[in-house]
Structure 1
Amino acid sequence: MNAKDHYDNHLAAFYAWMTGNFETKQQEQEAYFTRKHITPSGNRVAVDLGAGHGLQTISLANLGFTVFAVDFNQHLLSELNARAKGMPVRTILANLTNSAQYAMDAELITCMGDTLTHLESVQQVSTLLEQWQRMLPASGKLVLSFRDLTQELHGEERFIPVKAEDERIHTCFLEYFPGFVRVFDVLMEKINGQWIQKVSSYQKLRLGIEQVKMMLTAAGFNVLDHEVIARMHYLVAEKNRG
């Protein structure tokens, strides 16, 4: 499956459970934005790409942005809409690879979680960075986060326990190939006293942090900040003024 099919048919149904307590995770994201001085300074419009169920969207709205939340999965956007009632948030059902569906004047673009690695090729990442750069004004900001999968795990290291409760267990298994990793999401659920296994897989790009920094520079961005949080790389970049 591609990433959209994987979410539509498997992962979206338990994504919110997998990520943990929403309020706690959302407050962590809001604190990150605050530390990095991500606050409105222009037209107050932010585009949150791969918004999911809204960790970044809600945080940005709390900080004063009008947020356009873009995701390819309606289930996750419905969860986001339920949380964002009364807030300056609009959802757009679209694949972020089709930038024409969400192109607008915005002072901030975010693409977080591990969304960037869901793209199909390094060239696609490079092309999108260029398109996002054109959407932003001079000094507009782009905030990215992604997991660097370039370092290969071996043997039992490839089995990653994600979350476990009395009646639900989620494990990931990683299979490495040149340029990408195939991720198997294995969900065990106890239904009517019987354990049922559900498995689906999709591929993630093996993007290196220095590689992404180079692509940002080539696209016309200046990297302002790089921080690693829980093995996830966070980058803040600014569109060049020239």
Structure 2
Amino acid sequence: MSGLTLNAKIDEQKLLLAEAGLDDGPKDIAVDLGCGPGYQSFALARLGYKTVIAVDASNALLAELEAARADEPIRTVLADLRNFPTCVESGSVNAIICMGDTLTHLDERSDVTKLYRDAYAALAPGGRFVLTFRDLSHEREGLDRFLPVRADERRIMTCFLEYEADHVVVNDLIHVRDGEGWTFEKSRYRKLRLAPAEQAAELERIGFTVDCDRQAGGLHMISARKP
């Protein structure tokens, strides 16, 4: 990725995180759960956080982040995001984020609740927990379950959705141009169905104050504060 494209993505996330309240208050430690290539980690650093702990289970994505990192105060950690409490001291963190659609890839709703409780314990008073996720709580029907994902001269990606009580099964169908012909690839995975109102209520039950609860592009964003 070119530096110009990377900086544009970082600036976009910096604005979003500032709108979620992360440009206010102490900025000693921030944690980016499921950091991927680091767009939000860089944004946190540029908002002024002195230490950003970037957690992801992918070596390749962390390597991409490391390659782009110059003197930003970002420390990468190869780990399942559910184990992030081992990386910080309880009550020491000023901001925790879990962005993109990372949250819906957890196995069960109980994993989500545990993550919320762990975030509350890790945050210092006044610290913020910001998350985004895709709202899959409303079931599509019939042909609306078939969704175009991407198409160009080399690749056509389509998915269709199957609904379970707590999950959506995403079936990816991929046609790839191979010389003069096409090859067909397929895969499937499950995502949690998380209703925004239920997630905000769960955070409040744990003790958070929800300050922001709105759409952010194609995702839903919640910003919660530890009193």
TM-score normalised by structure 2 residue count: 0.90
Q: 1:197 deviation in Å?
A: 2.3
Q: 1:183 aligns with which of 155, 170, 174?
A: 170
CA offset at residue 70 of structure 1? Answer: 0.6
Distance 1:51 1:207, change over 3 A: same
Distance, in Å, in 2 between the alignment partners of 1:203 and 1:133 is 27
Match of 1:35 among 19, 28, 31: 19
Deviations 1:155-202 (A, max 9, x none): 221122222221122222211111100112333322333322222211
Is 1:74 matched with 2:59? yes
Counterpart contact for 1:94–1:101, Cα < 8 Å: no
- Partner SS state of residue 64, structure 1: coil
C-alpha contact 2:125 2:226 (8 A) present in aligned 1? yes
Other-structure match for 1:64: 48
Q: Which residue matches 2:78?
A: 93
**Matches for 1:127-146 after TM superposition, within 5 Å:** 127-146=114-133
Q: What percentage of residue pairs aligned between the two structures are identical? A: 38
Counterpart-to-counterpart distance in 2, 1:29 and 1:191: 36
**Correspondence for 1:121 among 105, 108, 111:** 108
Aligned residue identity for 1:146: F
Matching residue within 150, 165, 169 for 1:163: 150
Whole-angstrom distance in 1 between the partners of 2:171 and 2:68 = 29
Alpha-carbon distance in structure 2 between the residues aligned to 1:67 and 1:153? 38
Question: Following the alignment from structure 2 to structure 1, what is the Cα–Cα distance between the partners of residues 6 and 174?
Answer: 20
The whole-number CA distance in structure 2 between the counterparts of 1:146 and 1:63 is 22
Number of residues paired by the alignment? 221
CA distance in structure 1 between the aligned counterparts of 2:173 and 2:43, rounded to whole angstroms: 30
Indicate if the aligned counterparts of 2:169 and 2:191 stay in contact, CA closer than 8 A: yes
CA contact (8 A) 1:222 1:237 kept: yes
The change in CA–CA distance for 1:184 and 1:112 in structure 2 (over 3 A counts) is same
CA drift of 1:43 comes to 4.7
Aligned equivalent of 2:94: 107
Report the CA distance shift for 1:101/1:190 in structure 2 as closer, same or farther (over 3 A): farther
Quick check: 1:186–1:197 contact (8 Å CA) kept in 2?
Answer: yes
Q: TM-score, normalization: structure 1?
A: 0.84
What RMSD, in angstroms, separates the aligned Cα atoms of the two structures?
1.8
Give the Å deviation of 1:91: 0.9
| Residue 194 of structure 1, aligned match among 163, 181, 195 | 181
Q: Where has structure 1 moved over 6 Å in runs of 4 or more?
A: none
- Please give the per-residue CA displacement for 1:77-102, whole angstroms capped at 9, x wherever unaligned: 11122222321111111111223443
Tell me the CA shift for residue 141 of structure 1: 0.4
2:41 corresponds to 1:54: no
- CA shift at 1:136, angstroms? 0.4
Output the amino acid matched with 1:29. Q
Judged with a 3 Å threshold, the aligned counterparts in structure 2 of structure 1 residues 203 and 43 are, in CA distance, closer, same or farther, namely same
Whether the aligned pair in 2 keeps the contact of 1:70 and 1:102 (CA below 8 Å) is no
Q: Which runs of 5+ in 1 are unaligned?
A: 1-15
Distance in 2 between residues matched to 1:120 and 1:77, nearest whole Å: 22
The letter for the 1-side match of 2:93 is A
Q: Note closer, same or farther for the CA distance 1:186–1:62 as it changes in structure 2 (3 Å cut).
A: farther
**Letter in structure 2 aligned against 1:26:** I
